[in-house]
Every structure is written in structure tokens, then in C-alpha cells.
Amino acid sequence: MLVTLDLTERQAHRVLAQAVRTRAKFEIEPRPDAHSALLWGTLAGNDKGTLQVDLHDVGPNVSLAALIGAMCDVRMILSGQLCLFSTHVLEVSDRTVPQRVVLAVPETIQVANRRRFARHAPVDPVPVRFFVPAAQPPFVAIMSNIGPHGVACRVISTDIDDVLFIGDEVRVEFVLPWGEDVYSLPAIACSKTRCREEGHVIIGFEFVAAGHEALLERLRNALQDEAARLTESEGQP
């Protein structure tokens, strides 16, 4: 399932700033009558309402003039998340090396996250502590669901709205109710969704695997064992 979230204007600005710092790779899909193929490029700058993208492997004999004014869909990977937006081409440069297109800064940006594994929703409340570098002490949330690659938590929105943003890195700590292991893992905030319960928000965190493979393998095994136990219990008369 592909879950998308519209970023706020402030969040979108932070995402684009991070994309410039990391020289994010863009996949640009123009409307078919403007250009028949995908364009690939690197975000080189974000200035005065424009995004400057240096193109890869277009070829010196390919004219980009037809792209001026064309609508296009753009995709990029940032902090492990797929970011999507629509915009239009303001300028092109055929004669520079590399060739360049200038895009209008989009009005909205979406973050998408494909859930590749089933998640387990605990029956009883499970507290989750997460440490945000810009805030002290840690926040305490209630686990909504847990999977081998991430965890979602419910927290009071007024506590977190101005402190935690999509793409921020945190550390999460929790103990599964059917075990004793303490899981302390770095993670990236990948979604924020308003709850039906007024004043609360669901924060989705994706675990950072690098350097923590052994602990994540223990978590995966613990989740699989619990899922197997519940399946066997449901099958008993």
C-alpha cells in the first residue's frame, strides 16, 4: 500500500533545502507532447522560487526548447522516502554542460511510503519514548502499530508540531509487551497524520538499519514469533 502525505509549506521548504544540500536526484516526467522520455538530473540550486536541475545523459543533439512551459511530474528519494510533486518548466539551457532545466517551486509536495510488511497492532497500550535532538526531555507516545521496518505512535499534537518534521532523525525506545528486550534504534520521521481523537497525531518512524542489523533481526523474529502464536491461538477450539 502506498501512503502519501501532503507537507505543510514549512515542511516543503525544509525538504527542498535538504534536497539541495544532498544534491538529490530528480526523475522528471514531462507531458508526452513536450518530451517523449523521462529526464534524470541532480538538483543544483533552489533560488527565488525556482529549482535548477542539471540533467544527465540527455545528449548534445537533443533540443529541450519544447519543454518551456511544459507541466511535469517529479520524483526524488530523500532520507529513504519517495517525494512527489507536480510543477512546470520555466527555462532550459541546451548549450551548457551539463544541460539544465529550471523548474518552478511546487505549491505542494507529497511524501509517499510503501508499506512492504504487515504491521502488528498491540492490544494493550505500549509506551514509546523518542528522543528529538532539538528537544529535551524525550517525548512519550503510545504505540499504534509496529513492524520490522518501523513503528507508528500516537502523541499529543501540540507537543510535537513545531519540534518534529518529516525527514528528521530521532531515537526511539520501546519494550514489546510479550518480551523483555529494550529496543533502542535510530529512526526517521516519515509521516504525520491527524487522529480522529482531537489534539493527537500519528507519527510514523522508519528504522535506520545501518549498524543495527542484529537488533532489527531480533525485532523481526520477535514479531514473527508473536504473529505465529496468535495464529495458533485463533485456530484452537
pLDDT tens, residue by residue, 96-115: 888 899 999 998 888 875 44
pLDDT tens, residue by residue, 10-36: 888 888 988 999 899 999 988 776 676
Amino acid identity for residue 166 in this structure:
I
Low-confidence ranges of the chain (pLDDT < 50): 1-3, 114-118, 231-237
Residue 222 phi, psi (nearest 5): -65, -40
pTM over 0.75: no
pLDDT at residue 36 in the model: 64
Terminal-residue alpha carbon distance, the chain: 33
170 vs 208: CA distance, rounded Å: 10
